[in-house]
Amino acid sequence: MSHYYQHDVLVIGSGAAGLTLALTLPQSLNIAVLSKGDLANGSTFWAQGGVAAVLDAGDTVDSHVADTLDAGAGLCREEAVRFTVEHSREAIQWLIDQGVPFTRDEQHQEEGFAFHLTREGGHSHRRIIHAADATGAAIFNTLLARARQRPNIELLEQRVAVDLITDRKLGRDGGRCLGAYVLDRQTGEVDTFQARFVVLATGGAAKAYLYTSNPDGACGDGIAMAWRAGCRVGNLEFNQFHPTCLYHPQAKSFLVTEALRGEGALLRLPSGERFMPRFDPRAELAPRDIVARAIDHEMKRLGADCVYLDISHKPAEFIKAHFPTVYERCLDFGIDITRQPIPVVPAAHYTCGGVLVDQRGRTDLPGLYAIGETSFTGLHGANRMASNSLLECFVYARSAAADIVAGLAETRAPERLPAWDASQVTDSDEDVIIAHNWDELRRFMWDYVGIVRTDKRLMRAQHRVRLLLSEIDEFYSNYRVSRDLIELRNLALVADLMIRSAMQRKESRGLHYTLDHPGLLPQARDTILVPPTYAD
């Protein structure tokens, strides 16, 4: 039997952005936070780096802004960048106040800031505050513990949002988002969640690709639901790839740190031949996008499943001392990196585009907000700069929370919503179709809409995704929903939006590289897609 829930705020997603918003809202509000699986399954938990912010006495807002604009290849929205950076220090202070155990640096205590700051690619100053090399876990565990202490925050696991409920969907006047239909994986029923405000914090869509560093839930759910509800999306052609992810059937999403190349590791073909010197004079030390494109080129040229990262020429004790995590993790899979090369592939890492929002996280649909990787704020432009993404989560979550508070007085709870109608569907006995379509989608996205693109590859991808969407729609109409079906439906839709966005960009800028249009257009423009249901 399905259930009916009523909340002031429904937060779909339990990562950094969703938990920050829930904790920032007044404790007088009744809040639900939904997680697709177990609470710790999102991207936040696995983030290794840190949070970029203007914290050092020698750093400035203007410097952080300039670095971000430079990394974004001319496509960042400067007002969004400045807004984010100007609110960086207060966001970090909020995290410190919550109890996040950032790594301390007692040497600088007399200067009034006792935390260690590191520097990452693209940053001209030390401005990355971190908790050793597991910042995401430290932040997530702290925020989750805080949320569990709040009686007004209901944390619900194993809940998969199916679709948003809107006035338009119900044939009502008003044009608001009213709640969501949500699958309870434990009962198999679709419950109705009614809310005055709904927040999408579902992360990105890197699972559209065969190889990804992301956890299994990164299926673009929020982007797909917002699009179906009539919200515009932007810049979905920009997907950031990490060059070296461990290639092993059981390894899933283990990243092999770029520091190995910094300490002399060499990239080799299956034959043992080095190839990076042919692509860039800096060889293995070239920037991330160049290395990823070179690996992709060689894999496609040879039809190879992977290439190899070799540090075995270094002393074994040096390797174990400098890279204990990589050494132990590879050993788990039978690879001794002191004697063997590591099989690696590039992996989809971050979705730079998403649902269009303003500086308060508001989408085109009243009552609906999008924050974190789900959103397109204009901060990242054509290429995300390291450690700006977590900062975006905190700044925009806090801004959206403030906007929700400002709108409370004039926003009443919606009238009772109809329950999910499952009367015309049956249980599927053909789940093999879902599994096959899932594999097909991720493989052609990898081959045709990956690191290097051509017009022909994109046209082939579009043809295939349209066929898949038709099959999935027919399946969705006739059978009971499951997590796999919901995710496949969303992922195929977002893949279609990615392909359409890539086809519109007739240039190579940032993370979008096409052999047919290698140069830059004179003017940088965002790629904005408008759904058929969009209304001004």
Active site residues: 288
Give the span between the Cα atoms of 3 and 192, in whole angstroms.
6
| Three-state secondary structure call for residue 526 | coil
Using DSSP bridges, classify how beta strands 190-200 and 368-370 pair: parallel, antiparallel or unpaired. Answer: parallel
For 240-252, what is the HEC assignment? EEEEEEECCCCCC
Give the span between the Cα atoms of 223 and 241, in whole angstroms.
19
**Tokens at residue 312, please?**
């075995």
Q: Are 498 and 490 in contact (CB under 8 A)?
A: no
How far from 125 is each of 59, 118, 132, 388, 536, CA to CA, in Å?
A: 6, 8, 18, 14, 42
Closest alpha carbon to 129 in 120, 118, 140, 138? 118
Half-sphere CA count of 195, side-chain side, radius 13 A: 29
Q: Residue 345 — φ and ψ, nearest 5°?
A: -140, 155
Helix (H) or strand (E) holding 410: none
Determine the angle formed by the axes of helices 88-98 and 388-407, rounding to 10 degrees.
90
Burial class (CB in 10 A: 0-12, 13-18, 19+), 502: buried
Give the span between the Cα atoms of 44 and 140, in whole angstroms.
7
Helix (H) or strand (E) holding 145: helix 135-148
User: How many CB atoms sit inside 10 A of residue 93's CB?
Assistant: 12
Q: Are 496 and 326 in contact (CB under 8 A)?
A: no
Q: Please enumerate in sequence order all residues whose Cβ is within 8 A of that of 322, keeping only pairs 6 or more positions apart, or say none.
A: 259, 263
**Tokens at residue 5, please?**
């829930």
